[in-house]
C-alpha cells in the first residue's frame, strides 16, 4: 500500500455497507496489503463534506450523491468523483406508519395514498410528511417517481423531509413522519417495532434496484491506482462471501455490532433476504443506472437542463476500473445494461434517450401536464 497512514473509508449504518465491513472483518483488505480504517459517519451530508475536503479516502455513498458532488449540485464546488464499484442491488423500500396504511385502505397502494392526500386537502388538514435519507438519493427519486405515477406531486401534495436512516423508526413511532423510503435494515426494524408497514420494496418497483456505490475522488484514483485496484479486489471477494447463503447468519452478526449498523441481528438477518452484493454482475457500475438517476435529478430541477447526462454518467461510473479488478481475480466480464424497461411510457429507458426523457418530464411538470 502506498502512503503511511491507514486508508480511511466512510460508511453509514446500513446493510449495504456490508461489502466494506466484510472486507475489513474477514481479512480481504489485509490480504491485499491494505491497512483500512472504517469510519462510521452520522449522515450523508457528513459523507459529502468529508469527501469534498479529502478527509475520507473513499466512501460508501448514495449513487446520486456521487453524481451531484461531481457536478457541484450537492453544495460547494464540484469535486469530480469516480464510482468503480456498485455495493449492492435491492435494499430500499417504502414504509409507512401502520395507522397511515390502515387509512389508505385495501392494498395500501400509491393510489390509496393519492385518495388520502386528496381527502386531507379537502378537509384542510396538514399534508402527509414522508422522509428520505438525502435529497440526492435513489430513495428520494424512487419515492418521487412512485408518488408521481399516482398523480401525487411530491413537492406540492406531500411534505418531504430529510432524516438519517437509523432514526427513521424513532421518527415514525413519534409521529414526526408518517412514512419513509430507506434502505434496510430500517424498514424491517419499523415493522418489527410494530410501527410500520412496508408498502413496496425497490425490487418490486425496479427489479435489481441500484442503491449505493463505492466512490473516491477522480484525483485520488489517478494518484493511487494500485491502491484503488487492491480495494476493489478485496471488496469483490467480500461481496462474493456475503452472497453465500451459508454466511448470512455470520454477516448479520457482523453488521449488528454497535460500531457498524448496530441493529438487532435477527432484524438484520431478516432484512438481508432481498439484497445482492456480487452475484449476477451486481457489483458492476452500470452507466444506464447513472443516466436514470441524472434524468430524475433533472426532472425535479435538482440539476440544470443543460447538464450532459450521458457524459456525466460515463465520467463518474467507471465499469472499466471494475473490469480491471474482476479480470485480475479471474472473474467473467459483466455485460453493460443497455436499456431499462418500464421507466418510460411506450418503451425502454437508455442512456441515449436519457436527456430527452428528463427534459420532457421536466417540461410536463412545469406546464402542469
* pLDDT tens digits, one per residue of 211-262: 999 999 999 999 999 999 999 999 999 999 999 999 999 999 999 999 999 9
Do domains 7-89+210-359 and 92-206 share one topology? The answer is: yes
pTM score: 0.94
What is the structure's pLDDT at 3? 54
**Gap between the terminal Cα atoms of the chain:** 55
Q: Which CATH superfamily is domain 92-206 in?
A: Periplasmic binding protein-like II (3.40.190.10)
Domain 7-89+210-359 belongs in CATH node 3.40.50.300? no
CA angle, 23 as apex, 18 and 26 as ends, to 5°?
105
* pLDDT tens digits, one per residue of 302-328: 999 999 999 999 999 999 999 999 999
* pLDDT tens digits, one per residue of 80-92: 999 999 999 999 9
Sorted by where each begins, the domain ranges of the chain are: 7-89+210-359, 92-206
Residue 342 reports pLDDT greater than 80 = no
Q: Is the link from the previous residue into 251 a cis peptide, with omega within 30 of 0?
A: no
Choose from 41-45, 119-123, 243-247 the range with maximum mean pLDDT: 243-247
Amino acid at each position: 500500500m502506498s502512503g503511511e497512514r491507514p486508508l480511511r473509508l466512510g460508511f453509514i449504518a446500513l446493510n449495504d455497507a456490508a461489502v466494506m465491513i466484510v472486507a475489513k472483518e474477514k481479512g480481504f483488505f489485509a490480504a491485499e496489503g491494505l491497512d483500512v480504517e472504517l469510519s462510521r459517519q452520522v449522515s450523508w451530508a457528513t459523507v459529502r463534506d468529508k469527501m469534498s475536503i479529502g478527509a475520507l479516502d473513499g466512501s460508501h455513498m448514495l449513487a446520486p450523491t456521487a453524481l451531484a458532488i461531481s457536478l457541484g449540485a450537492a453544495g460547494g464546488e464540484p469535486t469530480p468523483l469516480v464510482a468503480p464499484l456498485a455495493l449492492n442491488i435491492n435494499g430500499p423500500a417504502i414504509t409507512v406508519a401502520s395507522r397511515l396504511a390502515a387509512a389508505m385502505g385495501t392494498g395500501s397502494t400509491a393510489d390509496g395514498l393519492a385518495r388520502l392526500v386528496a381527502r386531507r386537502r379537502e378537509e384542510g388538514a396538514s399534508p402527509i410528511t414522508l422522509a428520505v435519507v438525502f435529497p440526492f438519493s435513489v430513495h428520494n427519486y424512487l419515492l418521487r417517481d412512485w408518488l408521481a405515477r399516482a398523480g401525487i406531486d411530491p413537492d406540492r401534495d406531500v411534505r418531504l423531509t430529510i432524516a438519517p436512516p437509523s432514526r427513521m423508526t424513532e421518527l415514525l413511532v413519534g409521529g414526526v413522519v408518517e412514512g419513509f423510503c430507506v434502505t434496510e435494515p430500517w424498514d424491517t426494524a419499523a415493522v418489527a417495532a410494530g410501527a410500520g408497514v412496508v408498502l413496496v420494496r425497490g425490487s418490486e418497483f425496479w427489479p435489481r434496484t441500484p442503491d449505493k456505490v463505492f466512490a473516491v475522488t477522480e484525483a485520488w484514483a489517478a494518484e493511487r491506482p494500485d491502491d484503488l485496484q487492491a480495494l476493489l479486489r478485496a471488496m469483490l471477494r467480500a461481496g462474493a462471501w456475503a452472497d453465500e447463503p451459508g454466511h448470512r447468519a455470520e454477516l448479520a452478526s457482523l453488521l449488528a455490532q454497535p460500531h457498524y449498523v448496530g441493529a438487532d441481528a435477527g432484524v438484520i438477518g431478516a432484512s438481508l433476504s432481498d439484497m445482492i452484493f456480487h452475484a449476477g454482475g451486481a457489483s458492476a457500475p452500470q452507466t444506464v443506472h447513472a443516466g436514470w438517476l441524472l434524468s430524475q435529478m433533472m426532472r425535479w430541477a435538482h440539476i440544470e437542463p443543460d447538464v450532459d447526462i450521458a457524459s456525466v454518467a460515463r465520467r463518474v461510473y467507471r465499469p472499466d476500473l471494475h473490469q480491471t479488478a474482476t479480470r485480475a481475480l479471474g472473474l467473467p466480464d459483466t455485460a453493460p445494461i443497455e436499456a431499462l424497461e418500464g421507466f418510460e411510457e411506450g418503451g425502454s429507458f437508455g442512456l441515449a434517450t436519457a436527456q430527452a426523457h428528463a427534459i420532457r418530464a421536466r417540461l410536463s411538470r412545469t406546464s402542469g401536464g
